[in-house]
Amino acid sequence: MNSKFMNRFIEMASKIGNQVHLRSLRDAFATIIPMFILAGLAVLINNVLFPFIFSGETLTIAQDFGNSINNGTLNIAGLLLCPTIAYFLSSNKGFANPISAAVVALATYITIMPLAVEVPFNDDSIATTGALTYENLGTEAMFVGIIIGLVATEVLLVLNKTKALQINLGEQVPPAVSKSFSTMLPAIITVSLFAALSLLLQVTLNMDLITLIVTLIQQPLRQVGTSLLGYLFLYSFGNLLFTFGIHQSVINGPFTEPFLTQNINENMIAYSQGTEPPNILTISFQTSFAQMGGTGATFCLLIAILVFSRMKPYREVGKLSLAPGIFEINEPMIFGLPIVFNIPMIIPFVIIPILQTLIAYVVTAIGLVSKTVVFIPWVTPPVISGYLATAGDWRAPILQVILIILGVMIYLPFLKVSERVLKRQAEMNG
């Protein structure tokens, strides 16, 4: 009975992880992550390096370097995500012209922008037309880009299946022209539908579609996904799935990463403007404190094995896993030790990141460690990651070392139990 339940659970989780919309979302985020990392480097250069070199008006001028990069990355995050998601979703669904879907999604995103916006003017604001604001294109509207990328693409694909809407120019015309005309009517109808919806909302509710999505969908989901309890549940559930051989990105990718990324983007913008960063839980916080060495904080397990274990198989796996583990790649440990379906190892694998997150959260909340304000690559090694993510706060690496020691102490008794189980299995098979 337990075996049947486990098999059904694994099959269900695998289907969720392979669901085309979630897979497309992960692909899109993976594509634009270099832009966020670039923004993080710009924040470091602007606020850590340049102040050592320049001062006064010269420093202000030099910081335009990072500000320009922010405008081309963080401040258009929604604009980057929307066509990227559309491209991967249409491609994953076998659409023959995915670049067309990206163009339609981008046009749709611009179409739903409010026609009049408030812009700063002499310590006040004025209403103006013909302007696109970073507020509607960037981090604050990032979820809007996700929704429009998914929905506009689905509408386009449904319309494109209607033969009456397809224009066939024959085989004599260039392929690019033929593909363009074959999707022309579905593209026109898709963009027009969203324009009509925007007009309807404006007339009936005096509200644009972006504000509606942010208010009714983005903010409630974000409050759940980045609240301490909500995050711990989702992140821990993802870790639990990994112990059954299902990659934790099934949960963390679509359900936490977009909001944690939005949080770090907001922190970077606030830090670059000299204001207090608003968020503790960010994607860089997770990298620095909750998954040192990879999911399950397996850097702690590596140290426990290499320092305290005398089991040759474990030590060999530990040696092979050390180099990738330093850079947050722990699949050799998870599948080689293994942690997968290893009951003694499953418990600390799930529990330790919870404890590390709670401790780091409290320490950050009371101001003993700075908030994370730099988007760092997930492969950044422990200790270095905390220093970089907090823009050079020396207390962050100290906290990481303390959390690593705690993780080693918790992993150690479970490691000894796992060694006994391994010896017992060898005796039974010998």
Using CA atoms, how far residue 274 sits from 70, 160, 161, 349, in Å, is 14, 49, 52, 38
Contacts of 303 (CB under 8 A, 6+ apart): 404, 408
Residues 359-375 have a mean pLDDT of 96
User: To the nearest whole number, what is the mean pLDDT of the chain?
Assistant: 87
Give, for 116, the enclosing helix (H) or strand (E): strand 116-121
Residues 285-307 have a mean pLDDT of 93
pLDDT tier for residue 220 given thresholds of 50, 70 and 90? confident
CA 139 – CA 28 distance, rounded (Å): 15
Is the confidence at residue 1, as pLDDT, over 50? no
Q: Which pLDDT score, from 0 to 100, does residue 330 have?
A: 87
pLDDT tens column, 222-268? 888 889 999 999 889 888 888 876 767 666 767 788 889 999 999 99
Dihedral sign (CA 10, 15, 17, 18): positive
**Whether the predicted model's global pTM rises above the 0.85 cut:** no
Q: Which among 59, 104, 115, 49 has a CA at the least distance from the CA of 82?
A: 104
pLDDT tens column, 162-217? 888 877 766 666 666 666 677 889 999 999 999 999 999 999 988 888 888 888 88
Helix, strand, or coil (residue 280): coil
Burial of 266 from C-beta contacts in 10 A (0-12 / 13-18 / 19+): buried
Residues 372-379 have a mean pLDDT of 91
Using CA atoms, how far residue 371 sits from 242, 267, 358, 386, 390, in Å, is 28, 8, 14, 10, 6
Is the confidence at residue 4, as pLDDT, over 70? no
pLDDT tens column, 127-173? 788 888 888 998 888 889 999 999 999 999 999 988 888 777 666 66
CA 299 – CA 236 distance, rounded (Å): 17
Q: Which pLDDT score, from 0 to 100, does residue 215 have?
A: 86
pLDDT tens column, 319-363? 998 988 898 888 888 888 888 878 889 999 999 999 999 999 999
pLDDT tens column, 57-76? 999 899 999 999 989 998 99
Residue 402 vs residue 127, higher pLDDT: 402
Is the confidence at residue 44, as pLDDT, over 90? no
